[in-house]
Structure 1
Amino acid sequence: MWVSITSHEDKIAHLDACTDETFTYAELQDKAVRCALWLQKQRIKCGDVISVCTSNHPNSIVPCVAAAYVNAIFNPWNEDMDLPTALHVLQLTTPKVIFCSEKSVGVILKAMKEKNYNPMVVIFGNHDSAISLSDILRNCNNAEAANFRYVELDDVKKTACIMHSSGTTGMPKGVELSNHTMLLMKDNSTLDMTNVPTLWFSSLYWISGVMLNVKAISQGATVILYSQFDEDMTCQLIEKYKVAVLFLSSSMINRFVRAGYVKKYSLNSLKVILGGGAIIKPKVQEELRHCLPHVQILQGYGMTEVGGLITCQLPNHKDGSCGIVAKNVQIKIMNPESGKVLDPNQSGEIWIKSASMMNGYYRNPEATKSTIDEEGWLHTGDIGYIDEDGELFIIDRIKELIKYRGYQISPGEIEGVLISHPAVLEVAVISIPHATDDEHPLAFITKKPGAKETEQDLIDFVAKNMMDHYKLRAGIIFLDAFPYTGSGKIARKDLKEISKKLF
């Protein structure tokens, strides 16, 4: 990071789309050095945890780079977390310093009070009970900053970062990623951002946010910063700043293409859209290719536990596939019952071995042991298959399969049919317990503006296009907007809570 940032000195690292302010790599280096010096003065050393809880802005990456320079561990938190989650992550990672936004400081101070635990709190902005980052940067001695050198690393396998699993079921676990994993992220050739304007909305809490920041620094990209995803605004940002590379979560891609704004803009500068986080349905990818024929629309499959992408599409790959296996990764499709490796086009659990694999779940050896077996294979919990061309297709999560009268129903397959209906903007299917049938599928749907279709119209649409056991026997609930997890996926456990109140 030191070498990359120094070599890109005069290039623009960040452009704040809210203010049009720009910041060079030299300015980023200066802020990171001053922050690192302050951390050293607070006696922060190798192995100490520095938490960062904020959305994307020009200073959000500063404490992460500073932590790397003093061999501390950086640990991103979800800015929108509630008090139970704040209590959980505080107790799990016991940070020495927490860098947070004005939005998240209240819940963090409350959690600290409840746990009677008092790390230093630094704020991006101002608050009476916290130190301001701008004061830290301003009060640093210029001569010290000029003479600063990063602390040499003695073991590349040491933990550099603790990420959090998305916590779609239960509380998030801490995922320990090593310096070696960060190096592999930097060298991953999937995305070329060299010297071009790049836009994403993933905060540092998402593995994609960390991966994209590492790649941007190594390649000297200009990152366009805008914290909230909005379909129309995204098109405006692409046009105004000549964005060439765009990363969107699967949910954002659905909304981006189906809201219809894409058709109103030329978006000539755009070269690549990379999507990930959940399955992008073939119909959605096809629609996006049709709207933007000059853009490569690529889907990747990744996990926090392996430090980023496991597979990624190439331009000639099939719609809906996640592409072929990445460098330094092995995949096999297993029958979970028999333990046998399955042939092409047979669905089973995806197992992974990777050079960038996590060191383990932080302070949780039991969870590590139940996820990574003795031979080093990580059991993903995802169901999928590899076709005869070596392309991976994801079907669903094992835990989300719906059981109906002995059938196993994939919610993803029903979602794929519903998303092909022109009235549907976004969809998620969950299960409802049933006294005699085990479970019935229930669909949550947001409709496109102006769509007049009724619940019965869409129930009939599924019945007409799928086998009998896939019918939406629990019906449809229309939502104005979906709840999302901190990593941008649809929050299925929130949908389960909504359904419990209704059934």
Structure 2
Amino acid sequence: MSFSSPFPDVDIPDVLLFDYLFADIDDVADDPALIDGSTGTVTTYRQLVGQILALAGGLHARGLGVGEVSAILCPNIPAFVTVFHGIMRSGGTATTVNSLYTAHEISEQLLDSRATHLFTLSMFLPQADEAATAVGMPRENVILIDGSEQVHPDRTNLRSLLVTGAAPPELHLDPATHLAVLPYSSGTTGRAKGVMLTHRNLVANIAQGGPVIGVTRADRILAVLPFFHIYGMNVLMNGGLYRRAPIITMPKFDLVEFLRIIAELRATYLYIAPPIAVALAKHPIVDSYDTSSIRMIFSGAAPLDAELGHAVARRLGCTVRQGYGMSEMSPVSHTIPEDRDDIPLGTVGVTLPNMVCKIVDPATGEEIEQPSTGVSAPGELWCKGPNVMVGYLADPEATAATLDADGYLHTGDVATVTSEGYVSIVDRVKELIKYKGYQVPPAELEAVLLSHPKIADAAVIGMLDEEHEEIPKAFVVRQPGAELTAEDVMAYVAERVAPHKKVRQVEFIDAIPKSSSGKILRRQLRVPADT
């Protein structure tokens, strides 16, 4: 039996993303849209829209065709927003590249997306040029966002495209079919794939978030989550612009700089991933900064343990919420509304408007009923709505395996639902550990480990023991100066879980490998055992 949102459906305008965000800025034209966290420099809505239209005109005059793909290799700086929306306003499609990618990884995305232009910073030129050469992209199509004629006289730079005086093109595109962006899925469970998202997908998800996200014009959003990731791109960047809340950009996460920006620029709304929550809950330096401006912290990209979330809320005196989504859903499908203290923080809340969901037994394919009381059995979460992707670029086989004929996206995540409609993500279907026939969710054990005062971070994977039985193995990062043995760790977990869920092996490491969005890279934890 399917279940849906407790909220009524919202209206989704049939418009392109630029028109949805910027069609009516008269009352905020001179208000700050972007604030550079490093310098405090303000970009107003009037300035931002002027830059976007100027770039769209410059790209159109340069011959960028409708539907042509341009790549962006750039951290969170104000110019990212101009380039991102300038590409789309010219009729193009933007594909955003992870700032940590090597030349080989960049070239793979350029090749797969068929990108004809690459916007980047001087600091990334070595890998950008190598990648562009590898795919045959002309040198003049590698555009320097921070370049100038004086420093880089032989390179195309963003400024030259902004001062052409050319008018942006008139666009007559179908928002439901024209691709706005091509983010690439994280690839943590396989080859990274281009996720085809239309203008309607992005507009829909911003509109769907209206009743639940809670951002207002009075907020100041700190943007440390990367804009190249769908969470930073559409929830934080586009959602913040739509709700007229100034966005404070931060190129990369550094705890001291993060806290300085909060204190000096008075950030009120933080979008984070769980690794930042761990730092906010446990690091002693947090107490050295004025964090009183923070009223809301919203966590996504990976599961946030309830105890950790409550620890952050107590320490900072703010509200903490979490949500769930994925690139393929633009990205949000579930969240805990700001005004719903009754929804347990360990859940991901309720379904967004305009969506329908199912929980399906991955072994039998049978639907699991939403119970009249209590919690359902676990199963794979399937979601359907206007925010669901068109498919994977040039990969019909992967599309068919993920998006069924009825329009349901098979998320690959194991979930439960309560009688009230509260959804909890238990784990990934492919990451569940099978110990003596029992299913053991790594996320549950990680939450227990993180509750230990001497553990700074942790991850759990399934490993084969001497008898080739899959067992839970914990990788643990000790708090600085803490004395902790493997036996201590295993005993602590054993006191708090059923016998079949006990951690059977422990390895201490310096850091848990994670993606830029905060997902644990479990494949990297397995490498030592495989080599």
TM-score (norm 1): 0.93
Alignment match, 2:490 = 459
> Hey, what's the Cα distance between the residues in 1 that align with 2:526 and 2:25?
45
Query: 2:137, 2:521 → 1: CA distance?
Result: 30
Which residue of 114, 135, 144 corresponds with 1:123? 144
- Give the Å deviation of 1:43: 1.2
Q: Distance in 2 between matches of 1:357 and 1:465?
A: 38
> Which amino acid in structure 2 is aligned with residue 84 of structure 1?
H
Structure 2 letter corresponding to 1:229:
F
What secondary structure sits across from 1:164 in the alignment? coil
**Which of 227, 230, 252 does residue 204 from structure 1 map onto?**
227
Name the CA shift for 1:38/1:268 in 2 (closer, same or farther; >3 Å): same
* 2:24 maps to 1:16: no
Match of 2:189 in 1: 169
Where does residue 493 of structure 1 map in the other structure? 523
Which among 273, 282, 298 is matched to residue 249 of structure 1? 273
Are 2:312 and 1:288 equivalent residues in the alignment? yes
Instruction: Check if 1:404 corresponds to 2:435.
Output: yes
Which residue number in structure 2 is paired with residue 54 of structure 1? Answer: 74
Which of these residues, 204, 227, 250, is aligned with residue 184 of structure 1?
204
Q: Report the 3-state secondary structure (helix = DSSP H, G, I; strand = E; otherwise coil) of the residue aligned with 1:40.
A: helix
Q: Counterparts of 1:196 and 1:53 in 2: how far apart (Å)?
A: 28
State whether residues 71 and 110 of structure 2, in contact with CA within 8 Å, keep that contact through their aligned partners in structure 1.
Answer: no
Separation in 2, partners of 1:225, 1:277: 19
Contact 1:382 1:398 in 2 (8 A): yes
Identical aligned residues as a percent: 27
Letter in 2 for 1:483: P
Q: Secondary structure at the match of 1:104?
A: helix
Matched positions, count:
494
Measure how far apart 1:285 and its partner are: 1.2
| Structure 1 residue 231: Cα displacement | 2.8
- More displaced 10-residue stretch of structure 1: 357-366 or 308-317: 308-317
Instruction: Give the counterpart of 1:40 among 60, 85, 90.
Output: 60
Amino acid paired to 2:362: P
Equivalent residue of 2:463, what SS?
A: strand
Q: Which of 433, 442, 446 is the aligned partner of 1:415? A: 446
Residue deviations 1:327-367, cap 9 Å, x none? 11111111112222213321111111111110110111111
Note the 1:287-436 alignment, pairs <5 A.
287-293=311-317, 295-314=318-337, 315-316=340-341, 317-343=343-369, 344=371, 345=375, 346-436=377-467
Q: 1:67-82 alignment to 2 at 5 Å?
A: 67-82=87-102
SS at match of 2:459: strand
Q: Give the strand-richer structure, 1 or 2.
A: 1
Contact 2:117–2:137 (CA under 8 A) maintained in structure 1 = no
In the aligned structure 2, how far is the partner of 1:115 from the partner of 1:186? 35
Show the counterpart of 2:46. 26
Q: Is the 1:482–1:490 contact (alpha carbons within 8 Å) kept by the matching residues of 2?
A: yes
Deviations 1:114-145 (A, max 9, x none): 333437110122357641213332x423xx45
Alignment partner for residue 136 of structure 1, among 161, 164, 174? Answer: 161
CA–CA distance in structure 2, aligned partners of residues 250 and 118 of structure 1: 40
Q: Tell me the equivalent position of 1:440.
A: 471
Q: Do the aligned partners of 1:17 and 1:224 also contact (CA within 8 Å) in 2?
A: yes
Q: How far apart, CA to CA, are the structure 1 residues paired with 2:26 and 2:86?
A: 14
Q: CA RMSD in A?
A: 2.0
Q: 1:99 aligns with which of 99, 119, 131?
A: 119
User: What displacement does 1:286 show?
Assistant: 1.7
Give the counterpart of 2:258 among 231, 234, 246. Answer: 234
Alpha carbons 1:429, 1:441 under 8 Å: kept:
yes
Distance 1:411 1:404 in 2: 12
Work out whether residues 56 and 169 of structure 2, in 8 Å CA contact, stay in contact via their aligned partners in 1.
no
Output the CA distance in 2 between the equivalents of 1:117 and 1:470: 52
2:416 partner letter:
Y
Deviation at 1:155, TM superposition (A): 4.4
Matching residue of 1:274: 298
Structure 1: how far apart are the matches of 2:27 and 2:176? 22
Amino acid at match of 2:229: W
CA distance in 2, matches of 1:493, 1:83: 21
Determine if contact 2:57/2:169 at 8 Å carries over to the other structure: no
1:156 aligned to 176, 192, 203, which one? 176
CA distance, structure 2, for counterparts of residue 308 and residue 83 of structure 1: 27
How far off its partner does 1:426 sit? 1.4
Give SS of 1:332's match: strand
Equivalent position amino acid for 1:89 in 2: Q
State the distance in 2 between where 1:367 and 1:237 align. Answer: 42
Q: Is the 8 A contact 2:302 2:518 kept in 1?
A: no
Q: Report deviation, 1:204.
A: 2.0
User: Cα–Cα, structure 1 residues 186 and 412, in superposed 2: closer, same or farther, change >3 Å?
Assistant: closer
User: Matches of 2:424 and 2:137 in 1, distance apart?
Assistant: 45
Residue 433 of structure 1, CA deviation = 2.4
Matching residue's letter, 1:218: Y
- From the superposition, tell whether residues 498 and 417 of structure 1 become closer, same or farther in structure 2 (CA, over 3 Å): same
Contact 1:122 1:133 in 2 (8 A): yes
User: C-alpha distance in 2, partners of 1:339/1:155?
Assistant: 34
Please give the TM-score of this superposition, normalised by the length of structure 2.
Answer: 0.88
- Aligned partners of 1:136 and 1:5: how far apart in 2? 24
Aligned equivalent of 2:240, options 216, 224, 229: 216
1:109 is matched with which residue: 129, 132, 135?
129
- 2:116–2:137 contact (8 Å) kept in structure 1: no
What amino acid is the match of 2:298? L
Separation (CA, whole Å) in 2 of partners of 1:155 and 1:19: 36
Q: Secondary structure at the match of 1:228?
A: coil
Give the number of the structure with larger relative contact order, counting CA–CA contacts within 8 Å between residues 6 or more apart.
2
- CA distance in 2: counterparts of 1:325 and 1:21, whole angstroms: 38
Q: Distance in 2 between matches of 1:226 and 1:112?
A: 27
Q: 1:63 corresponds to which residue?
A: 83
Secondary structure (helix, strand or coil) at the match of 2:126 reads: helix
